[in-house]
């Protein structure tokens, strides 16, 4: 096994830059961001929503973060994160790292944070750390994490670990989150208004902040896209998250704003559960993949704001192979032939889709129905309320559904969850060969080797077709011309990547 070491661009490495920046004038400009996400409260571990998780990482600091330019996980609060043997990861904190109240950040804080995430009922993120068998502070600056099996996804999971203070928790309990939200991130917590907004303030002494990063940022909940775009137009907000395709031209036409797009790293797919007929028949699943004209749907309904998938990942994600083209291309005649070959022409299926959960989800499913019927399926479209559909999907009670899965920069957790034997009942797929390939990528710590193993698993997955991989939505962000902000392939807007012009 080769060692994996993350050590670039740590807070400590940036310390030299801070002295230079501190001498410059810092802007006092404020930036408001219209968001679609929930703002659940003060507890950084309560809500696993991506955008809010990134805000908490800006306040408390997380152990690692993903560097989209380098295409790898790098230390954030830590100085280094490395695998010292197959089952042990070592986190080293830099010396002299302090919180906004001057208190030092210690190894015991990381141990406490992981323990809270794993065991406290207030945590909604136990899944990130529950497979770790032991987390131990070796000294004030060193933590060892022991995993059950070799696990290359540890750096990914550590990107979701906000490091809160053990000392403050011992003193205040859960009230710490509200009364003393002192972190070691580049922004300080100012205000949380539950279900409404969060305000954070730049820490001028932090090495990751630049003079032209906003002095304050308000993340403001605006559920309606029309409202977000209008607020951007009249200057109430400077960034609007989630501009749908039909409103992008309106934003482009604004004199004071423009649109910036990025991949969502959320795979949209049609799941087919082999536990129910006809999805227990490989040819029926493959027929579905051949039946859907993804390019036509992307062009006509998504207005080209989508990246067609040849597997579960696209460029920028671990395991993407630029030379791989899916053999499951659009071919309605082949789809019909496949269905006829197993005597399933006319078989009745029900396609379930959420409504309003994903961009144009209902319209997309409606467009899929005639395509599937052309291939020989008899299709009923089912459009239940999201909570009902989601509960049934989680219990494995929905045989055929259109859905998305985000947080897939490293797709390993998602692929294991949906496609490995026993991963979850959502699809209930089982293929020993795929299981082996997925286990192999998970235990490979060398990035290049792991990518190759992931690609092999993806090829098997596409061939077995427990899901038809559709596209990733291009996420539109409205951005005021008063600032510079290039969104990343994840639903996050970090203060240090926003610059006031």
Query: Where along the sequence are the contacts to another protein (CB under 8 A)?
Result: 30, 32, 38, 40-41, 43, 46-48, 121-122, 124-128, 130, 174, 193-196, 199, 218, 220-224, 226-227, 230-231, 233-234, 236, 386-388, 390-392, 394, 405, 407, 413-414, 417
Nearest CB to another protein, comparing residues 326 and 353: 353
Q: Exposure of 28 by Cβ count < 10 A (0-12 exposed, 13-18 middle, 19+ buried)?
A: exposed
Q: What is the DSSP letter of 222?
A: -
Strand 80-85 relative to strand 5-6: parallel, antiparallel, unpaired?
Answer: antiparallel
Query: Nearest approach, Cβ of 313 to another protein (angstroms)?
Result: 17
Query: Nearest approach, Cβ of 439 to another protein (angstroms)?
Result: 17
Q: What's the longest Cα–Cα distance across the chain?
A: 76
Q: Which two tokens stand for residue 302?
A: 């998504």
Nearest CB to another protein, comparing residues 179 and 388: 388
3-state secondary structure of 228: helix
Q: Which two tokens stand for residue 445?
A: 């710590």
Nearest CB to another protein, comparing residues 218 and 457: 218
Backbone angles phi, psi at 197, to 5 degrees: -155, 165
Of 200, 94, 208, 113, nearest in space to 158 by CA = 113
Helix axes 412-419, 447-464, angle to 10 degrees: 30
Q: What is the DSSP letter of 104?
A: B
CA angle 150, 45, 220 (to 5 degrees): 130
Q: Which two tokens stand for residue 99?
A: 């919180």
Query: Nearest approach, Cβ of 229 to another protein (angstroms)?
Result: 8
CA angle 106, 108, 114 (to 5 degrees): 115
Nearest CB to another protein, comparing residues 161 and 218: 218
Nearest CB to another protein, comparing residues 123 and 474: 123
278 cis-preceded (ω within 30 degrees of 0): yes
The strand order across the sheet containing 88-92 reads 5-6, 80-85, 88-92, 142-147, 132-139
Nearest CB to another protein, comparing residues 358 and 390: 390
Query: Nearest approach, Cβ of 394 to another protein (angstroms)?
Result: 6
Query: Nearest approach, Cβ of 93 to another protein (angstroms)?
Result: 27
Query: Nearest approach, Cβ of 173 to another protein (angstroms)?
Result: 12
Interatomic CA distance for residues 447 and 476, integer angstroms: 30
Nearest CB to another protein, comparing residues 80 and 397: 397
Contact in structure between 273 and 311 (CB atoms under 8 Å):
no
Interatomic CA distance for residues 215 and 120, integer angstroms: 34
Contact in structure between 168 and 182 (CB atoms under 8 Å):
yes
Query: Nearest approach, Cβ of 224 to another protein (angstroms)?
Result: 6
Interatomic CA distance for residues 181 and 218, integer angstroms: 17
Nearest CB to another protein, comparing residues 74 and 198: 198
Nearest CB to another protein, comparing residues 48 and 104: 48
Query: Nearest approach, Cβ of 181 to another protein (angstroms)?
Result: 14
Query: Nearest approach, Cβ of 304 to another protein (angstroms)?
Result: 25
Nearest CB to another protein, comparing residues 59 and 389: 389
End-to-end CA distance of the chain: 47
Query: Nearest approach, Cβ of 495 to another protein (angstroms)?
Result: 16
């Amino acid at each position: 096994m080769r060692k994996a070491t993350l050590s670039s661009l740590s807070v400590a490495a940036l310390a030299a830059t801070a002295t230079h920046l501190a001498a410059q004038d810092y802007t006092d400009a404020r930036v408001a961001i219209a968001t679609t996400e929930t703002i659940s409260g003060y507890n950084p571990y309560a809500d696993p929503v991506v955008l809010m998780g990134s805000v908490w990482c800006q306040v408390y600091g997380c152990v690692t973060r993903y560097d989209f330019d380098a295409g790898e996980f790098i230390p954030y609060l830590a100085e280094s994160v490395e695998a010292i043997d197959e089952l042990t990861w070592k986190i080293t904190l830099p010396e002299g790292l302090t919180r906004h109240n001057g208190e030092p950040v210690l190894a015991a804080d990381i141990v406490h944070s992981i323990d809270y995430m794993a065991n406290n009922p207030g945590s909604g993120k136990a899944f990130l750390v529950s497979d770790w068998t032991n987390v131990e502070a070796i000294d004030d600056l060193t933590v060892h994490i022991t995993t059950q099996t070799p696990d290359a996804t540890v750096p990914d999971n550590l990107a979701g670990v906000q490091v809160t203070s053990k000392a403050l928790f011992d003193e205040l309990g859960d009230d710490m989150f509200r009364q003393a939200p002192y972190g070691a991130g580049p922004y300080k917590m100012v205000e949380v208004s539950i279900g409404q907004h969060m305000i954070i303030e730049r820490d001028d002494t932090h090495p990751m902040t630049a003079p032209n990063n906003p002095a304050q940022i308000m993340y403001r909940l605006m559920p309606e896209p029309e409202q977000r775009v209008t607020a951007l137009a009249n200057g109430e907000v400077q960034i609007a998250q989630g501009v749908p395709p039909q409103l992008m031209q309106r934003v482009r036409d604004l004199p004071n704003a423009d649109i910036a797009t990025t991949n969502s790293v959320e795979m949209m797919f049609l799941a087919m559960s082999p536990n129910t007929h006809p999805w227990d028949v490989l040819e029926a699943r493959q027929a579905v993949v051949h039946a859907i004209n993804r390019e036509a749907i992307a062009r006509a309904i998504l207005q080209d704001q989508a990246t067609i998938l040849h597997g579960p990942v696209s460029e920028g994600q671990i395991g993407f192979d630029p030379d791989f083209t899916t053999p499951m291309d659009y071919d309605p005649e082949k789809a019909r032939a496949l269905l006829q070959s197993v005597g399933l022409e006319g078989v009745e299926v029900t396609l379930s889709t959420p409504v309003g959960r994903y961009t144009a989800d209902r319209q997309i499913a409606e467009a899929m129905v005639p395509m599937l019927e052309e291939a020989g399926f008899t299709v009923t479209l089912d459009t239940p309320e999201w909570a009902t559909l989601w509960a049934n999907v989680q219990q494995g009670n929905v045989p055929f559904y259109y859905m998305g899965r985000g947080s897939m920069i490293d797709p390993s957790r998602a692929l294991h969850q949906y496609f490995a034997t026993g991963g979850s009942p959502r699809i209930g797929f089982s293929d020993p060969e795929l299981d082996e390939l997925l286990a192999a990528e998970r235990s490979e710590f060398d990035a290049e080797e792991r990518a190759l193993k992931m690609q092999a698993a993806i090829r098997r997955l596409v061939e077995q077709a427990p899901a038809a991989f559709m596209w990733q939505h291009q996420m539109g962000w409205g951005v005021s011309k008063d600032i510079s902000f290039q969104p990343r392939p994840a639903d996050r807007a970090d203060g240090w990547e926003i610059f006031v012009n």
